[in-house]
Structure formats: structure tokens, C-alpha cells
Amino acid sequence: MDDIHANPFIDMQQVSYVYTRQQRKGHEEQRVQALRAINLSVRRGEYLVVLGHNGSGKSTLARLCNALLTPTSGRVLVAGMDTSDQTMQRAIRDKVGMIFQNPDNQIIATVVEDDVAWALTMRGLPTALIRERVEEAMEAVGISDLRERAPQQLSGGQKQRLAIAGVLALRPQCILADEATAQLDPLSRREIVALLHRLNRELGLTVIQITHLLEEAALAARIVILQQGRIVMEGPPIDIFSDLERLRRLKLAIPEPIELAARLREAGFPLAPDALTVEALAREMAH
């Protein structure tokens, strides 16, 4: 049997998650089912994009993958460890590092390199080892030349790089990026997505990227789309992008170049179905 399939890195089995919320003081609590019976496994080294609009359950799914939340029912296994087992949670979070939406909430120290070193210092590792890991992490995300800066002086994109370096310093096997580009300007957004792809390719890291933007999913190995807590579509980008009507019904904005390509195909122009980025489409149309 194929070892990779036998041993997925993350394995969600019939996972449901229910949270309660109180709308206003004195009102009754309301039970909200954020995820319903999710079965999903993520291979080692895979680049998975989880797409969905607000309230689809995608952030809940991310938090279940590194034991920030534990399932109401069902099981989540990370490298074979059950996230509901409290003795395993620290080891799980070391393997699965998470980047959040707002870069400012993830910065602790007053100097860039101290911030990258933070988690290692807290673990009391030897100084020489910390130095080595910090250098390596800053190098990997391209912020070595910013090492002495104060984090507040960095741009949004640089702050997210810093957050990624802080996670990388722990040598995780997986990076979970929860809407990590949502507050960035368009160029920084692309840089961060490109960086995640590079880390996936060059370091073999498993990447799970949570987003509501279809254009950020074009280069993924696999896309999973959530709606109302269920997986409603799943497959490689080429399959997912072939049903624009369905994507529209799922309230996802179709990037204009993709729409244009679809209209041209409909009008009889042969454009390769795997041309899903602006660059690939330009090549197809110009040749």
C-alpha cells in the first residue's frame, strides 16, 4: 500500500465543531454548527488551499489542524497524534505553525531578529542553536537585511514575512496560513503567496492556505471549498475552475482574466484549460 496514503500528515475523520454564542446579554445561548462531518486528509508536502466565503467554517477548520480547537465530535490526527490528547498538543503545535490575518497581533519583540528568536528563547534552547535557526529562518523569507529594524517600521507584507520566519524557526512540518494576505495590498499579497509556494517546493513544507480569493488558489495542488461547514467541492485547480457557475453560486468572486478566458473558450477559441494565472493566459492568447 502506498505509504503516503496510509499515513496522511493531517487526517480529519468525521469532524464536527459546534460553538455557542450569546447574541446579547440575557439572551439565550445559540448553538452554531461551524463544521459538519468533515473528512479530509492532507498529504505530507501537499499545497492545499481551503476556500470559502465568510462564515463557511474555514477558520474553524484551520484551528482544528493545530489543536487551537478540538473537535466536538470526530477525530483530528496530526502526524498520528490525536489533537484532543492534551499531552500531545505542544508537539502538534511545533509541527504545525500558524500565521494569522493581522500581522500586528503576532509580533512580540521590539527588534526583528529577537522576534524571530522569541519562541526558541522561550523554550530555553542554547544560544548558538537559536542563532543558527534564526539566521536560517530570516534567510528563507528574505528579511535578513531587516534584522535590526523595529517591527513597527515594517510594511504589512514584511510583517507577515516576519511572522512566517518566527514559525519557521521552530522547524515545523506544516504552515497554516489563515487569511494571511487579507489585510495586505495586492503586491504584498502576491509576494506572500509566492513565498508560501517556495517554502513548499524548496523545503518540502506542507502548506494549508485559507483564503476567500480564487486567484490565490490557482497554483495549489488541491483546492477544498467549504460552504456552511461542509466540503462542497474538492479537486485540483483545473477541475475547480472549470465550473464558474458553481463558484459564483458559492459566492466566490471570479477573477476577470478567468472570466475572459471562459468567454473566449465559449466563443470557440482553444485556450488550454490549465492556464489559470494571468501569465499563463497571456502565453496562451499570444502564441
Site for another protein contains 286 (CB under 8 A): yes
d(CA 72, CA 175): 24
Task: Give the CA diameter of the chain.
Answer: 66
Where in 171-210 is the site for another protein (CB under 8 A)? 182-183, 185-188, 190
Site for another protein contains 152 (CB under 8 A): no
Site for another protein contains 222 (CB under 8 A): no
Site for another protein contains 31 (CB under 8 A): no
User: Is residue 164 within 8 Å of residue 142, measured between CB atoms?
Assistant: no
Site for another protein contains 248 (CB under 8 A): yes
How much is the CA Rg of the chain, to the nearest whole Å? 20
Helices and strands in the chain, H and E counts: 11, 10
Kindly state the number of chain residues that form the binding site for another protein, as judged by CB under 8 A.
38
Nearer to another protein, 2 or 266 (CB): 266
User: Is residue 201 within 8 Å of residue 221, measured between CB atoms?
Assistant: no
Site for another protein contains 150 (CB under 8 A): no
Which residues lie closer than 8 Å to 203 by C-beta, 6 or more apart? 140
The size of the chain, in residues, is: 287
Give least dist CB 221 to another protein, A.
22
DSSP run (H or E) holding 76: strand 73-78
Q: Which of 85, 239, 243, 256 binds another protein (CB under 8 A)?
A: 256
Site for another protein contains 163 (CB under 8 A): no
Give least dist CB 285 to another protein, A.
6
Q: How far apart are the first and last CA of the chain?
A: 44
3-state secondary structure (DSSP) of residue 44 = coil
Interface ranges with another protein (CB under 8 A) = 23-24, 53-55, 155-156, 182-183, 185-188, 190, 212, 215, 248, 251-253, 255-257, 259-260, 263-264, 267-270, 278-279, 281-283, 285-286
